Copies of this chain bind each other. A is one copy, B any other.
Amino acid sequence: MNPRITKVTSHLNHNEALIFERSQMGRVGYRLPPLDVPKTADEELLPAELRREDDLEDLPEVSEVDVIRHFIRMSTWNYSIDLGMYPLGSCTMKYNSRLNEKVARIPGFAELHPLCPEEDSQGALEVIYELQEHLAEITGLPGVSLQPAAGAHGEMTGVMIIRAFIDARDGEGASALRRTMLIPDSAHGTNPASAHLSGFSVKSIRSTAEGVTDLKHLKQLCAEGDVAGFMLTNPNTLGLFESNIKEICRIVHDAGGLVYMDGANMNALVGVARPGDMGVDVIHLNLHKTFSTPHGGGGPGSGPCCCTKELEPLLPVPRIVKDSHDRYALDFNQPQSIGRVKAFFGNYGMMLRALAYIQTHGFDGLREATEAAVLNARYISHGLVSDYDKPFDRPPMHEVVFTDKWQSRKGVHTLDIAKRLIDYGFHPMTIYFPLIVQGAMLIEPTESVGHQELDQFIAAMRSIAQEAVEDPDLVLNAPHSTRIGRLDEAAAARKPVLRWKSNE
């Protein structure tokens, strides 16, 4: 292959410029109807000193076809679920049904204003209500708010509920002494960050060598008397079910705390087991994981918060309720509520998709998806165990963690393995998370891959293991098949350039 045509070449599709670099004065890509009302003089509309000062200089001027080519070309630089398996552990990258996209675009929903009177938006409110009911059934936790916009937002909501509950239960003085949130060292970064937002300080709970919560450590910390709650992910971020969950809840409850469950891994449990039955008090779900709403390159998400009957009055307002005439209504009259966490009702478009997911799967389909997700992870676990170090022995649930221990002896690390996987046409797994596992590779296939694709993935991973021995440079310099090579992130952070400027 000729060097001229490797990596970023003269090929147009690999060299799409920034739109600002493509802009040409006078080009337009829009057309509006002509103004059809009598024109008011500019001076009358707005005093000169309040008017825009710069004629929007530097904003792009391009035609519609320029726009299309710009984005279509850039899109080809992305990997996506639709191109193949996306085994990011903890992210649950499952197939995003086209049907659900269509549902979200039905004009009767897409063009509905959130402040339309209740009587003119009954269909939309019904969707919220039904989804609340289904999520309550799935989690076993009857109080549901769909207001949070993502997982972390749901965490914040849930933790604030814990805080409000304890403040109310213990009274001002006593509750001020209860400001510790326990969080496992394997937890996702949003957990401590969300706890912090509610005014808690965080204490870390150790994981055992088996990869689960260290009960002794938990008891010890609980004994200190200042514990407001425990934030647990289950299955935890190592893909292991916390079999002691009932005991854990008991310990925390006995110590006067509440149990928060990070529901990011609910894809291992839907239809099989319910957090509410385990003793969990409050949980958030990620509709953009378990319920298949698309990740969209980083969002939007939706992070419903579900809680016990006891905590329900603390949920954000407005609640969406059904009145005695089977009419749906907004209920603002919740004096114990922690307040509002977002304008309007949350990321409504995601709710439509999630409800469609639940309804097209049916109760049996939901369970089958869980079974397939776990089976696929087990299959990978089984398929890679002789080529990669698997730090925990217990059978994984929906995701499995391996490490680079064996490969690193040859200088090949998790990052290199991940990058090399790209050359085989796969998105890498989650790497270096959870932090407690050195060189972690967290693999979550989800239910959306078939036998064939699993075998291809396993074959690719095994091939890389072999390359790491036979031709480590090949792996160390990967990826080779992409538009650009590894980027110097350190340099980028040292002197950050965060926007285009005309004079640069």
Chain B nearest Cβ from A428, distance in angstroms: 14
Cα-based distance from A451 to B62 in the complex (angstroms): 11
Excluding A68-B95, A72-B80, 6 further A-B contacts by CB distance (< 8 Å) are: A9-B423, A9-B481, A14-B425, A24-B452, A66-B450, A68-B98
Given contacts A31-B360, A451-B24, contact A425 B13 (CB under 8 A): yes
A196 interface residue (CB < 8 Å to B): no
A6 interface residue (CB < 8 Å to B): yes
Cα-based distance from A480 to B1 in the complex (angstroms): 7
A contact set with B: CB distance below 8 Å? 1-2, 4-6, 9-15, 22, 24, 27, 31, 63-66, 68-69, 72-73, 76, 80, 82-84, 95, 97-98, 360, 423-426, 448-452, 456, 460, 463, 474, 480-481
What would 19 A/B residue contacts be, using CB atoms closer than 8 Å?
A1-B1, A1-B6, A4-B474, A5-B423, A10-B463, A11-B423, A11-B481, A12-B425, A12-B456, A13-B84, A24-B450, A24-B452, A27-B450, A64-B98, A65-B95, A65-B448, A66-B450, A69-B82, A69-B83
Cα-based distance from A9 to B448 in the complex (angstroms): 24
Cα-based distance from A82 to B460 in the complex (angstroms): 33
Copies of the polypeptide in the assembly: 2
Contact of A97 among B64, B97, B481 (CB under 8 A): B64
Cα-based distance from A97 to B83 in the complex (angstroms): 26
The answer to whether A83 and B425 touch across the interface, beta carbons within 8 angstroms, is no
The residue of chain B having its C-beta at the shortest distance from the C-beta of A423 within the complex is B5
What residues on B are CB-neighbors of A31 within 8 Å? 360
What residues on B are CB-neighbors of A13 within 8 Å? 83-84, 425
Of A82, A360, A449, A481, most buried by chain B (CB within 10 Å of CB) is A481
The answer to whether A95 and B64 touch across the interface, beta carbons within 8 angstroms, is yes
Given contacts A68-B98, A480-B2, contact A22 B425 (CB under 8 A): no
Cα-based distance from A76 to B421 in the complex (angstroms): 19
